[in-house]
Amino acid sequence: MIFKILKEYIRRISRNYKIYIISILGMSIAIIASFHIYHFVFKELSVDGFHSKKKEIYRVVQKSLNSNFPVADTPLPFGELLKEKFPEVESYTRITTRNEIIVKANDKNDKNDISYIDASFFELFGFSLKKGSVAQFKENSNGVIISEKAAKILFGEKEPIGEVLTFSEDYKENKDKYEVIGVLNKIPENSTIQGDYFINIESYQKAVSIDMKWLGTGGSTHLYLYMPKTQNTKLFSEKATKLMFSEVKIRANRAFVNQTIKEPYFELYLQRLDTIYFNSTDIVHQKRKGDLQFLRIILLVGMLTLFLAITNYIIMNLGLNVSRVKEFKTRRYLGASKVGIYTQLVIESLLNTSICFVLTLITYPLMGRFISNIIGFNYHLSIASDGILLVIYFGIILLLGLIIGSLEFVFSYKSIIIEKPRTKRQNSWISKKLMIGFQLLLFIGLIICILFVGKQVDYIQNKDLGYNPQNVVSLSTRNYTDLKSFLETKSYVKSTSYSQLLFSPTFNLNAITNVETNKDVDVILKEGDYNFLKVNGIKLLYGRNFPEKQVTDKSDKIKQESKSLSEILVNEEFVRKANLKKPIGKVFKIEGYKEFVIIGVIKNVYCTPLYYPIQPLIINNKDYTGWYYGSLVVSFQDGYRQQLYEDTRGFFIKKGVEPMFIEDILFQYDLNDIYKKELQLKHLLEAFTVIVLFISLLGMIAISLFITESKTKEIGIRKVNGATIKEIMIMLNKDFIKWVFIAFVIACPIAYYAMSKWLENFAYKTGLSWWVFALAGAFTLIIALLTVSWQTYRAATRNPVESLRDE
């Protein structure tokens, strides 16, 4: 039986290969796109899933009450104290990372980050050694475990065990030496914890006092707690916060005599290991982090793509099956059962979906990079390591084939199994038009959403921030005070300033107190000098700037530091929040620090992402008090970034600086990276809209074909009675106009609500303009009419005698 079905299947393809190719093409595009989405979702949901204790390990996160971001940092001794005080903490491990270390072995070197860990790291996490032993790592504080990748870079095919590595750190003359005592099996790409060099944490900053370790100046760690019996993580976090604060308070009062901490300025909370990835979007310095909202959107896109492909495929096959009605009825008369016909439709559907799956695998090398750029991921597909992923997806494809075949049987049941008068065929056209109506609804909604997302992305990328961050970079002077004068000799350099970068994606708010009213204002505090306004292009509204004189003489520094007041510039928002009518000369203070006097007011600038409203801003004249000349901000002419890099790098090389330490000397925040989620969403919607458009066009062509066929007799009668081609086309096209209008009416409020909720993420946003809705509707109507008019024109120009004879 199956052989006969296959023979009939091949014969059908050869007879209707054009329509077959179109139907397979539409399904294949949807399945290919859905597979890449499925691959991404599968990998994202499996992050950290390979750890056997993933539901019993918690990371400790600290959130400062005056900042907009949490950090996964805690004092070095905190883990040991928690284990001592709380019986539910059965074990812990810490991870401390030092960045951009040069690792040398003989004549090979590698610039990388190195991690200091407890030996319990290997007991708690699902990492294993390919060579060496954890016991030796625990006993040897000067031992290092390296990854297979690092071993390949440094030693090639040579045995790494027993070799000595030299670690060189920038600004540090002494070089640390460690013996390779183990090689780590490859860390899975879907792990939030990554690394190539692991050293026993006991060797980390042995000379630092216990007080400095508690205050963070002696190093901080990512702390993971193993608590298999914990019941209430919130209660534990509250108790841990009190414990940590009591220790920090004691150490701070001891270290800083003039500064007293009265109440907690932070709070702790726990992240379970298997939830860290999706709950760390706002945690700084975490390299691997997921976005659950984006994952849900892309999952919805994948499901809708498959749904559209299924409905479109069914519509086209139902049209093809109309010509097979006589065949099926003949087979019924010859004794074929309902089950036999059902089996044939299902097997044909399974074959079609299997072909689509094969095309997906064949095109993966070509489409993989394109799709990954749209979605923004770098997962790789391997048959060896991703066998389960492929088997599951193939199972999904077979299930889709079964569903499609079953639906074809259900929709064709009345015409194949039950004798029905021809007048009842109108019901099937209505069901098909409903499917197309849904596709039009989705298409219009997508067009509206993509226009608004694009409008908002353009808004945030082109908004006047009050200064120009594009051609402004920060670099470390490495204590060479002549770097500033060297760069100022370059014609393309506009200005230089010993200061901080104005823009930052994260910020801390410091409470500053009005001496007269004793009222606090939470502010962002930046450090700058006389050139701060010039280098950033900020307008001074009134008052004066900082003094132009540079403090270079040591005696001058001492004199300046003895002054009780430090001069500051404030922005308009500060004046508003502090309710100052005449701000110049007003004195403020921060507890434990000097008092500040306002000498000028600057224009408001957007120095944080547009998710946040403008904050009160203070520019503190650190140059006035002899500030350490370590951070130099440089503004330059457009197109000269590479030249600035080459000149600065040459300057440092002449000073004898190791070239590997100055590969990334220029720093600035990339706004495209700041708004990465919005750009990804825009690209995703663009790609999905193209897919939906293509599928909808195929569906509309099929529907127009079916409708004209169903009205062949009516068209012939109208033409005999004098109807013109124009009147016939209007009659046939008005159904599509009606469905576009209905879809438009339903799509507009849904899209409006969705975009309103999405725009709530921004403090500054574009408006929900009416023309976007009108443009989406008009565009859809034009596309629909152009698509179906070709078929309706052919039907309207046919000879009415042929139409009536065919009927």
Report pLDDT digits (tens) over 679-701: 888 888 888 778 777 777 776 77
User: Minimum mean pLDDT among 435-444, 644-653, 695-704: which range?
Assistant: 695-704
CA atoms of 611 and 765, how far apart (whole Å): 9
pLDDT of residue 552: 46
Please count the other Cβ atoms lying within 10 Å of the Cβ belonging to residue 691: 21
Is residue 128 within 8 A of residue 144, CB to CB? The reply is no
pLDDT of residue 209: 61
User: Minimum mean pLDDT among 218-232, 250-264, 693-707: which range?
Assistant: 250-264
pLDDT confidence tier of residue 626, bands split at 50, 70 and 90? very low
Is residue 177 within 8 A of residue 164, CB to CB? The reply is yes
Q: Tell me what the mean pLDDT of segment 75-101 comes to.
A: 91
Q: Cβ neighbours of residue 750 under 8 Å, at least 6 residues apart?
A: 445
Q: Tell me what the mean pLDDT of segment 702-723 comes to.
A: 64
Q: Cβ neighbours of residue 655 under 8 Å, at least 6 residues apart?
A: 478, 480
Identify residue 265 by its one-letter amino acid code: Y
Top mean-pLDDT range of 103-112, 191-200, 616-625, 673-682: 191-200
pLDDT confidence tier of residue 88, bands split at 50, 70 and 90? very high
Q: What confidence tens digit (pLDDT) does each residue in 119-132 have?
A: 999 999 989 899 88
Where are the chain's structural domains? 1-47+293-420, 57-279, 426-464+671-807, 472-668
Beta bridge partners of 226: 57, 91
Is residue 161 within 8 A of residue 132, CB to CB? The reply is yes
**pTM beyond 0.75, yes or no:** yes
Is residue 143 within 8 A of residue 136, CB to CB? The reply is yes
Q: 3-state DSSP call for residue 131?
A: strand
Q: What angle do CA 83, 271, 117 make, to 5 degrees?
A: 55
At 570, list the tokens: 């404030």
Whether 418 shows a pLDDT value over 70: the answer reads no
Strands 176-184 and 631-636, sheet pairing: unpaired
Q: Which helix (H) or strand (E) holds 578?
A: none
Tell me the residue ranges of DSSP E strands in 206-260.
Answer: 220-226
Is residue 191 within 8 A of residue 147, CB to CB? The reply is no
Identify residue 291 by its one-letter amino acid code: D
Question: Higher pLDDT residue, 68 or 180?
Answer: 180
Q: What confidence tens digit (pLDDT) does each residue in 759-778 have?
A: 888 888 888 888 999 998 89
Whether 482 shows a pLDDT value over 60: the answer reads yes
- DSSP letters, 268-316, are EEEEEGGGTGGG-TT-TT-S----HHHHHHHHHHHHHHHHHHHHHHHHH
CA atoms of 704 and 736, how far apart (whole Å): 9
Q: Cβ neighbours of residue 423 under 8 Å, at least 6 residues apart?
A: none
Q: Tell me what the mean pLDDT of segment 335-350 comes to.
A: 78
Whether 423 shows a pLDDT value over 50: the answer reads no
CA atoms of 210 and 413, how far apart (whole Å): 81
At 267, list the tokens: 């709070």
User: Minimum mean pLDDT among 28-32, 455-459, 656-660, 710-714: which range?
Assistant: 710-714
User: Minimum mean pLDDT among 8-22, 132-146, 575-589, 781-795: which range?
Assistant: 8-22
Identify residue 663 by its one-letter amino acid code: E
Is residue 66 within 8 A of residue 522, CB to CB? The reply is yes
Q: Which strands sit side by side in the sheet containing 631-636, from one edge to the other?
A: 472-476, 631-636, 493-498
Nearest Cα neighbor of 773 from 751, 740, 743 is 751
530 CB-side CA count, 13 A: 9
CA atoms of 772 and 451, how far apart (whole Å): 7
- 263: Cα separation from own chain's centroid: 36
Whether 336 shows a pLDDT value over 50: the answer reads yes
Is residue 634 within 8 A of residue 470, CB to CB? The reply is no
Please count the other Cβ atoms lying within 10 Å of the Cβ belonging to residue 803: 21
Please give the DSSP secondary-structure letter assigned to residue 467: S
Q: Tell me what the mean pLDDT of segment 246-251 comes to.
A: 79
At 585, list the tokens: 């000369």
Q: Which helix (H) or strand (E) holds 643?
A: helix 641-654
pLDDT confidence tier of residue 422, bands split at 50, 70 and 90? very low
Whether 494 shows a pLDDT value over 50: the answer reads yes
User: Minimum mean pLDDT among 308-317, 644-653, 663-672, 787-796: which range?
Assistant: 787-796
At 87, list the tokens: 């019986």
Nearest Cα neighbor of 360 from 402, 295, 309 is 309
Question: Higher pLDDT residue, 429 or 636?
Answer: 636
Please give the DSSP secondary-structure letter assigned to residue 95: E
Whether 22 shows a pLDDT value over 80: the answer reads no
Whether 159 shows a pLDDT value over 80: the answer reads yes
Residue with tokens 């945030």: 460
CA atoms of 220 and 196, how far apart (whole Å): 20
Whether 709 shows a pLDDT value over 70: the answer reads no
- DSSP letters, 492-525, are TEEEEEES--S--S--B-EEEEETTT--EEEEEE
pLDDT confidence tier of residue 3, bands split at 50, 70 and 90? low
CA atoms of 343 and 323, how far apart (whole Å): 19
pLDDT of residue 555: 43
